[in-house]
Amino acid sequence: MPAPPIAAVAFDAFGTLFDVHAVTACADSMFPGRGAALSQLWRSKQIEYTFLRTLSQRYRNFEVVTAEALHFAAHALHLPLDDAGAERLMAQYACLAPFPENGAALRALRELGIPLAILSNGTPAMIAACVASAGFDGLFEHILSVDTVQQFKTTDAAYQLAPDAFQVPPSNILFVSANGWDAAGATWFGFTTFWINRSGQPRECLGVEPSMEGTRLTEVVDFVRARHPADRP
């Protein structure tokens, strides 16, 4: 069977459009020589808590989960994080730097006539702040937050937000994520998927493969160009 045409693209936000480890410099200024370790453990625990809260049906929004993960990471690394320090680090999530090529790639997709969305675990306020800080205002038709369904990815309810918004089947939506677990879950759901594997990680051993793998968002543009309907507007 021919591959389904791509009618829309949905992006994960944190780790894909915006660099979650942009907090490292701030963390290192607070805890010299420990910023990278704090950032890595903070991110790992943040994701773990989204899984745990969804599995246990104990939803709290992503801002709360992020703060909880930060406090765990600081305690685990024996770092003296006070309330002011926690607020300072949490504020970094309002201005996470985008990866360098992302702005040009997003604008190239818009020039193809492709509608774009963000589908994120983040709260609407967290996503909007990062979009504004990066100068990405006006590039997305939809900002989709799992707050709507109070279940984090990789649940079907979270991913269903994109087909409902675009009014097209999942296979006609390209879901783009830099998180291997997210690309796997989105593939299971039925999206066409593109895994941005920036650091050369092995594929998840889950018996599922992304539709395409690359290292930069610019490669997504080439993939979409080849799969977008010829009669695009």
- In tens, the pLDDT along 22-53 reads 999 999 999 999 999 999 999 999 999 999 99
pLDDT > 70 in the chain, percent: 97
Structure tokens at 59: 């939803």
* Number of other CB atoms surrounding residue 46 within 10 Å: 21
Cα distances (angstroms) measured from residue 32 to each of 35, 38, 51, 175, 204: 7, 11, 31, 37, 33
Residue 231 has pLDDT above 70, yes or no: no
Q: Which CATH class is domain 8-18+96-227?
A: alpha beta
- Residue 192 backbone dihedrals phi, psi, to 5 degrees: -75, 135
Residues with Cβ within 8 Å of residue 63, at least 6 apart in sequence: 90, 93, 122, 123, 125, 126
The structural architecture, per CATH, of the domain 21-94 is Orthogonal Bundle (1.10)
Residues with Cβ within 8 Å of residue 31, at least 6 apart in sequence: 38, 79
> What pTM was estimated for this model as a whole?
0.93
In the prediction, which pLDDT does 50 show?
Answer: 98
* Number of other CB atoms surrounding residue 210 within 10 Å: 24
138-160 per-position pLDDT tens digit: 999 999 999 999 999 999 999 99
Structure tokens at 75: 């305690």
* Torsion of Cα atoms, 54 then 63 then 36 then 104, to 10°: 100
Catalytic positions: 12
Domain boundaries, the chain: 8-18+96-227, 21-94
Cα 70 to the chain's mean position, in Å? 18
197-230 per-position pLDDT tens digit: 998 999 999 999 999 999 999 999 999 988 776 5
